[in-house]
Chain A
Amino acid sequence: GEDVEQSLFLSVREGDSSVINCTYTDSSSTYLYWYKQEPGAGLQLLTYIFSNMDMKQDQRLTVLLNKKDKHLSLRIADTQTGDSAIYFCAEGTSKIIFGSGTRLSIRP
C-alpha cells in the first residue's frame, strides 16, 4: 500500500536553513503536501506542490520534488524559534496518507 517516510527529528541553529526530507511510494498522487503541527494544536497545511512541478517557492519555504526518486523536501530559510513544530509530509488525492512527522527543534 501507500507509504510515506520521513525522519523523526531535526535540530538546527537559529538563522540556519532547515531541510526536511520525505520519501513516498504512490506515484499517482496529484499533489504532495507539507503540514505543520504546533504544540497542542491540529495540523495546518503549510504548502503543497503539484506533481508535475519540481520546485515551488513561497517566501522562506522551498519545496523540491524529485518524481523519479519519489523524494520530497521542505527547506525553511533563516529558521526562527517560531518554526519549532512537527512537520508532516503527505500525499494523496481524495485520501491523504501522512508520514510520521519530523520534529524540528531550534538551537540558539
Chain B
Amino acid sequence: DADVTQTPRNRITKTGKRIMLECSQTKGHDRMYWYRQDPGLGLRLIYYSFDVKDINKGEISDGYSVSRQAQAKFSLSLESAIPNQTALYFCATSDLGTNPNEQFFGPGTRLTVL
C-alpha cells in the first residue's frame, strides 16, 4: 500500500464550485505539505503543517485553505474554483528532525477547472 495517498486522482469541475482534495499518510510523519505543479513553474508551496495544531501559508496560498484533521490527514480546499487553479496538486510528508529533510510525495491530483 502507498504511504501517501491522495483522493481524488483526477477531478474536473466548474468555475465557482467548492473542491476538496484529500491526503492521507501512513508514515507517521508530523509534517505535511501541499504543492501545485504547473508546466515550466515547478512545484510551488501552497500550505504546510508541522503538526496538528500548526498551519502555515506557503508562497501561493490565496484562493486555498487547508485543514489538518489528524496527524495522518491534511486536506486542501478551493472555496470557489477558478480556471487558473487548473494544475497538478501534490501532497507530501516529512519527518520532524531528520536530516536531510526528505519529502515523500503522493501520486498527485489532476484538477481541471472549466
Q: Taking beta carbons and an 8 Å cutoff, which residues of A are in contact with B? A: 1, 4, 8, 30-31, 33, 40-45, 48, 50, 88, 92-101
Contact = CB atoms under 8 A, between A and B. Distances in A.
Interface size class of B (residues with CB under 8 A): 20 to 34
Interface of B: 4, 31, 35, 40-45, 48, 50, 59, 90, 92, 99-103, 105-108
Contacts of B106: 42
B42 A94 contact: no
B105 A30 contact: no
B42 A101 contact: yes
A8 B39 CA distance: 9
A95 B34 CA distance: 12
Contact of A42 (B99, B102, B108): B108
A92 B105 contact: no
